[in-house]
A = this chain, B = another copy of it.
C-alpha cells in the first residue's frame, strides 16, 4: 500500500543516505521531517503514515520510526492522540506585529574594494597587522591562562591587561593611569556608549560634540539617550568659550589630533578646557585615537594626565593594530569607575579574556612597540607620498592636519564643489570623501576632503592622486 503523504515529495524519502559514514537513519529521518514541516511541504493537520507503513516504506524497523515520531512530538512538530493517526501539529502563523520590511543591515565592509585607490579614512595598514606576533601572543595567553581566569571575570577586564596597559599609558601617553580605574572595552564606540550611559544615570542630559567631528559619536550619543550639542572647532581645536555657553555637562573631543580636521588642541585651550570642567562641574571624554602615530615632534601627553578627576580617556588598538581585534579601554575618574564597570557588566559581562591576555603579552614583550615603530615608518612614507603627489598633480590644494595619524584634510580651491569632485573621482575609480558629512549642518563650504592614506601603498596613493589631480584643482 502506497504511503498517502500529500505534499512530501518522494525525493525526500529517497534522500536517506545509507552509505558508510552517513548520519544515523533516525536522525536523517527526523531532520527530513522537520524540514518538510518547516518549509510548508507538510502542513498543519496533515496525516502522517502509521509507523508500520513508514517503516516498511523506508526499510527500517518500526521502533525507529516510532522513536522518531515521539521525538518530533516532544518538540511540538507532530500531534498524536490515542487511537488516532499522527498529524502535523498546528503551528504559529506568519507574524504581523513586527512584520516591517525585513531589510538587511547596510553592508559595512570596505566600499569600493575594486577602486584604483580608496582614500577612505580611519583604516590602518591592514596588511601590516603583525600576524606572527599576534599568533605568538595568543598562544602564550592560551598556554598560560589559569583555569580560573576562563570563568566570567571582573567586568572591568583582566587585571593582567589593566596592569600592563596602565604602565604603558603612563609611559607613552603620560596618562595618570591606575589599573583599578581602568575598564577594558571593545573600542571607541563601546567605550563612549558605556561612559555616556553611566553619565546619564548620574543625571547628565546634554553632551557636546566637536563640529566637524566623528559622525559615529552622534550615533552613540543617540543610542545612549543624550541630547547632542555641536561646538565648532577652529585651528586651535574646540572653541571653549562656545562650549561653556552651551551649558553641556560633558564634552567628547580628540585633543591630540582632532577628528577629522587633524588640528591639535592648543595649550591655552587645554587650560581653558580644564578650567571650564572644574567650574562647570563637567566631564571631558578624551578620544586618544591615533596618538601613537606622530611625525613632527613628541606626542602631546594625554589631556587625562592633566585632570584625571575630570577626564575619561578612551583608547583602542583599532588604529595601532586592527579594528577587527575589538579591544579598547577607558581610564575613568575614581568617582565614575564603578558606574562604568556596571554598564560594561550589564551590557556584555566583560571583554574576551584570552584576547586581553594576548594584548598584555604583546605589550610586555616589546613586540607592540616594535610594531608601532615599523608602522610609524610606513605611515611616514605614505604621508610623504601623498604630499609629493599633491604637490605634483594638484599644487593649489593645501593639506592640513598632518601632524599625526594617517589622514589629512585637503582644502580645495574656493570654487570647487565637494560632491561633484567626489562623484567625478568615483567615475575614475578613485574613492574620495568630503568634509561635509562630518559637519553638523552638512555644509559643503569651504570645500574640503578628508584623505585617508593608512591602508594605501605609496604606489596606490600616487596613482590615485595622479588620476584626480585636475579635479582637485577645480579643473
The chain A residues found within 8 Å of chain B, CB to CB, are 27, 30-31, 34, 38, 71, 73-77, 79, 89-100, 102-105, 107-110, 113, 123, 126-127, 129, 131, 134-135, 138-139, 142-143, 145, 147-156, 171, 174, 176, 180, 185-187, 189-190, 193, 202, 219-220, 223, 249, 267, 270-271, 274-275, 277-278, 281-283, 297-298, 300-301, 303, 305-310, 318, 322-327, 333-338, 341-342, 345-355, 455
Q: Which of B100, B190, B337 contacts A349 (CB 8 A)?
A: B190
Known: A92-B277, A275-B90, A347-B189. A283 touches B75 (CB 8 A): no
Q: Chain B contacts of A202 at CB under 8 A?
A: 97-98
Q: Chain B contacts of A220 at CB under 8 A?
A: 346
In the complex, the answer to whether B95 meets A335 with C-beta atoms within 8 Å is: yes
Q: Which of B71, B281, B355 contacts A298 (CB 8 A)?
A: B71
Q: How far is the CB of A202 from chain B (nearest CB, A)?
A: 6
Q: Chain B contacts of A113 at CB under 8 A?
A: 148
Whole-angstrom distance between the alpha carbons of A96 and B270 in the complex?
A: 20
Q: How far is the CB of A454 from chain B (nearest CB, A)?
A: 11
In the complex, the answer to whether B126 meets A135 with C-beta atoms within 8 Å is: no
Q: Which of B71, B326, B335 contacts A99 (CB 8 A)?
A: B335
In the complex, the answer to whether B109 meets A347 with C-beta atoms within 8 Å is: no
Known: A98-B335, A105-B341. A27 touches B298 (CB 8 A): yes
In the complex, the answer to whether A154 meets B187 with C-beta atoms within 8 Å is: no
In the complex, the answer to whether A110 meets B324 with C-beta atoms within 8 Å is: no
User: What are 28 pairs between A and B in contact, CB < 8 Å?
Assistant: A34-B305, A38-B308, A75-B301, A75-B306, A92-B309, A95-B278, A98-B283, A98-B333, A98-B336, A102-B337, A104-B337, A105-B155, A110-B148, A126-B150, A127-B147, A131-B142, A134-B142, A145-B324, A150-B324, A189-B349, A190-B348, A323-B349, A324-B352, A325-B352, A325-B354, A326-B352, A352-B352, A352-B355
In the complex, the answer to whether B352 meets A75 with C-beta atoms within 8 Å is: no
Whole-angstrom distance between the alpha carbons of A105 and B152 in the complex?
A: 14
Q: How far is the CB of A30 from chain B (nearest CB, A)?
A: 7
Closest to A76 in B: B270
Closest to A276 in B: B92
In the complex, the answer to whether A324 meets B149 with C-beta atoms within 8 Å is: yes
Q: How far is the CB of A404 from chain B (nearest CB, A)?
A: 13
Q: Chain B contacts of A93 at CB under 8 A?
A: 278
Q: How far is the CB of A88 from chain B (nearest CB, A)?
A: 11
Closest to A98 in B: B335
Known: A76-B306, A134-B142. A323 touches B107 (CB 8 A): no
Known: A76-B271, A326-B352. A151 touches B123 (CB 8 A): yes
In the complex, the answer to whether A335 meets B100 with C-beta atoms within 8 Å is: yes
Q: Chain B contacts of A104 at CB under 8 A?
A: 180, 337-338
Q: Which of B74, B107, B127, B138 contacts A139 (CB 8 A)?
A: B138
Q: How far is the CB of A185 from chain B (nearest CB, A)?
A: 8
In the complex, the answer to whether A347 meets B153 with C-beta atoms within 8 Å is: no
Closest to A267 in B: B74
Q: Chain B contacts of A155 at CB under 8 A?
A: 105, 108
In the complex, the answer to whether A349 meets B326 with C-beta atoms within 8 Å is: yes
Q: Which 3 A-B pairs have the closest CB atoms?
A: A324-B353, A76-B270, A97-B281
Q: Which of B283, B335, B355 contacts A355 (CB 8 A)?
A: B355
Known: A105-B342, A138-B142, A352-B325. A94 touches B153 (CB 8 A): no
Q: Chain B contacts of A105 at CB under 8 A?
A: 154-156, 337-338, 341-342, 345
Whole-angstrom distance between the alpha carbons of A350 and B108 in the complex?
A: 11
In the complex, the answer to whether B305 meets A153 with C-beta atoms within 8 Å is: no
Q: How far is the CB of A283 from chain B (nearest CB, A)?
A: 7
In the complex, the answer to whether A150 meets B323 with C-beta atoms within 8 Å is: yes
Closest to A219 in B: B346
In the complex, the answer to whether B174 meets A223 with C-beta atoms within 8 Å is: no
Whole-angstrom distance between the alpha carbons of A451 and B145 in the complex?
A: 27
Whole-angstrom distance between the alpha carbons of A135 and B123 in the complex?
A: 28
Q: Chain B contacts of A152 at CB under 8 A?
A: 108, 318, 323-324
Closest to A123 in B: B151
Closest to A223 in B: B346
Whole-angstrom distance between the alpha carbons of A113 and B149 in the complex?
A: 12
Whole-angstrom distance between the alpha carbons of A69 and B334 in the complex?
A: 29
Q: How far is the CB of A175 from chain B (nearest CB, A)?
A: 10
Q: Chain B contacts of A223 at CB under 8 A?
A: 346-347
